[in-house]
Amino acid sequence: MKLPLEEIASGVEKKLKIKKWKRCDACGATGARSTGSMTTCPVCNGSGEIRQVSRSVFGQFVNIAACQNCGGEGKVIKEPCQTCHGDGRVQGDATIKVQIPAGVSEGNYIPLRGEGNVGKRGAPAGDIIVVIEEEPHPVFTRNGDDVVLDLLVSFPEAATGGDIEVPTLTGRARLKIDPGTQSGRILRMRDKGIPHLNSFGRGDQLVRVNIWVPTSLSAREKQALKEMKESENFHPKEGDRSANSEKSFFGRAKKSFS
């Protein structure tokens, strides 16, 4: 079952329409047209077993095998039910409800006991196994119970700081950008991630800051930038050019994700 991250974060009840084998009501799941249509199997006399004695140099062996004639049931149907042709079950539609707890992951499965196909002639029903798949999200990447968002900010915003609205799994929230925030910096929004499965608390939203560079400039803007370029403060200092600690942190995060 494919689920978007938002539903994984909130938990959800899903209805599934499926086709499955259901009990045949026409014959009460016996497979016989009427109660008189069942007779004791003449091959095994109703025991459902066939015993064969074989002899060898090692001695005498008794083989017990299921009776082929009645399939081990001990009874045979003279006149099968016209609805199910003797199987005691028919194909039908079913709607099942599944409770998906918050915090599930790709590959988790939820067993629905006794909701699967019924067996032949009144045999118990099997289970349905719902396997969780995670839909790729257009803006978030899941990393354990944290979600990672790549955010584009303008150079003036990064340099002077600001208050930016960012998407979250439940809507939108405001994020404070400190003056002098570097590209690649990871900002942590506490408890905005995915709840821990079967436990308390939840992950965080990690926002990676990326400086957006404009691709078209007016003559006036170009002139202003040229002037700034000459300014001492606009040149990275010795050491500023090397990778910052956040980058290696993110590398580790990515590694644990794959």
Shortest spacing between CB 48 and Zn ion, in angstroms: 6
Q: How far is the CB of 26 from Zn ion (least distance, A)?
A: 4
CA gap 228, 118 in Å, rounded: 76
CB 70, CB 58: distance < 8 Å: no
Nearer to Zn ion, 37 or 69 (CB): 69
Q: Which residues bind Zn ion (CB under 5 A)?
A: 24, 26-27, 41, 43-44, 67, 69-70, 81, 83-84
CB of 118 to Zn ion, least distance (A): 12
Minimum Å gap between C-beta 83 and Zn ion is 4
Tokens of residue 87, six digits: 């199987």
Residue closer to Zn ion by CB (options 32, 209) is 32
Tell me how far apart the alpha carbons of residues 157 and 206 are, in angstroms, rounded to a whole number.
Answer: 19
Neighbours of 98 (CB within 10 A): 16
81 vs 206, beta carbon nearer Zn ion: 81
Q: How far apart are CA 223 and CA 180, in angstroms?
A: 23
Cβ proximity to Zn ion: between 122 and 167 the closer is 122
Q: What distance in Å separates the CA atoms of residue 177 and residue 226, rounded to the nearest whole number?
A: 25
